[in-house]
Amino acid sequence: MRSARRLPAVLLLAALTLSACGGGQEPADQDQGAASPGEGFPVTVEDGTGEVTIEARPERIVSLSPSSTEMLFEIGAGDQVVAADEFSNYPEDAPTTDLSGFTPSVEAVSEYNPDLVIMARDAEDAAAQLREVDVPVLLIPAAETLDDTYSQMRMLGEATGHAQEADEAADRVESELDAVVQETTEEVGEVDLTYYHELDDGMYSATSQTFIGQVYERFGLENIADEAEDTAGGYPQLSAEFIVDQNPDLVFLAYEGEDAVADLRGRPAFDSVTAVKNDDIVQLDPDIASRWGPRVVDLAESVSEAVTAAARER
């Protein structure tokens, strides 16, 4: 009851503050002239839906996507983030709130009085509402390739006034990832290993056409899910029969649960699979394995370890 009565007042206040900001903008920009923080603005960047113009350097960013939150902190825009969604749990000083990125609430977001909101691609309705009240919104699609990751970092850099740092960060992530891959291939040589990446115990997997599949591909691993390439947008549900018959050398579990590995071992017929026999089942950090942010290097390191271990057994 209490919050219900408070809400209209907050909204009104938010609207007033927003319009006040809009009105005061131009002289402020002129005053700053070539001064550093406002430099380069307004900028126009391309998000998942089209071109978005950001008039001034955003100082109150709300990020509703964990991948974007990680990127913002990586490129030095962390100080400008005032609120992040409930699953933005990294880095530690990310201002995690109970905001939902899955079902974004425009009212809840506007309470933070943001001057830039970053959302996942499927939140278009909420984005339209925010744009209506002149809050710039960037809709970030899920990365489909590693290159998408780097270009999203650069785009966020431009949008937040950290173009150069973002450039450097993207280059750094790319070269660190390349280094991990290169070291691994040098150590183990040409591997001829197959793998199965499991998203949950309903046996949903990811093909090489996905972001995660590309990471494995860099190591020369062959994905058993690729036979189902055309289904489910790269995330097919495989049959147990197919997985066992494919006999993968490596199994990666991208979900939590202390007994996840034991559960997999205990499934009917799975004890005949090479990866299970050789104990080459790797449980990945689910956050790292599902976010296309700077921590893709950590993911690559986990894969590298597993590949090295499996290659030594031969």
Partner 1 sequence: MRAPRPAWIWVPVSAGVLAAAMVVGAAAGSAGFGPLDAAAALLSRLPFSPVASPLNDLQFAVLVELRLPRVVLGAMVGGLLAAAGAAYQGVFRNPLADPYLLGAAGGAGLGATLVLAYGSDLLDSPRALVPVAAFVGALAGVAAAYLLGAVAGTGGTATLVLAGVAVSSFLSAGQTLVQMLRTQELRRIYTWLLGGLGRGGWDDVGMVAPYAAVGLAVLMVSGRLLDLLALGDEKAVSLGLNATAVRVAVIAAASLCTAAAVAVSGLIGFVGIVVPHIVRRLVGTGYRMILPVSLLTGAAFLVLVDIAARTAIAPAELPLGVVTAFLGAPFFVFVLRTTRNRAG
Give the residues lining the site for partner 1 (CB under 8 A).
87, 100, 102-103, 199-204, 225, 227-228, 231-232, 236-242, 244-247, 256-260, 262-263, 267-269, 271-273
Least CB distance from residue 240 to partner 1, whole Å? 5
Q: Among positive and negative, which fits the CA dihedral 259, 252, 92, 184?
A: positive
Q: Residue 173 Cβ, how far from partner 1 at the closest point, in Å?
A: 25
Three-state secondary-structure class, residue 103: coil
- Smallest separation, CB 169 to partner 1 (Å): 27
CA atoms within 13 A on the CB side of 189: 4
Identity of the residue, 171 or 245, whose beta carbon is nearer to partner 1 in the bound complex: 245
The angle subtended at Cα 219 by Cα 165 and Cα 267, nearest 5°, is 115
CA atoms of 161 and 165, how far apart (whole Å): 9
> Which of 112, 204 has the CB closer to partner 1?
204
Shortest CB 263 distance to partner 1, Å: 6
Closest to partner 1 by CB, 178 vs 227, is: 227
Nearer to partner 1 (CB atom), residue 73 or residue 87: 87
CA distance linking residue 36 with residue 223, whole number of Å: 48
Distances (CA, A) of 5 to 2, 8, 11, 311: 5, 7, 11, 64
Evaluate whether 301 touches 282 at the Cβ level (below 8 Å).
no
Rounded distance, CA 209 to CA 40, Å?
Answer: 36
If the CB atoms of residues 136 and 213 are measured against partner 1, the closer one turns out to be 213
Tell me how far, at minimum, the Cβ of 280 lies from partner 1, in Å.
16
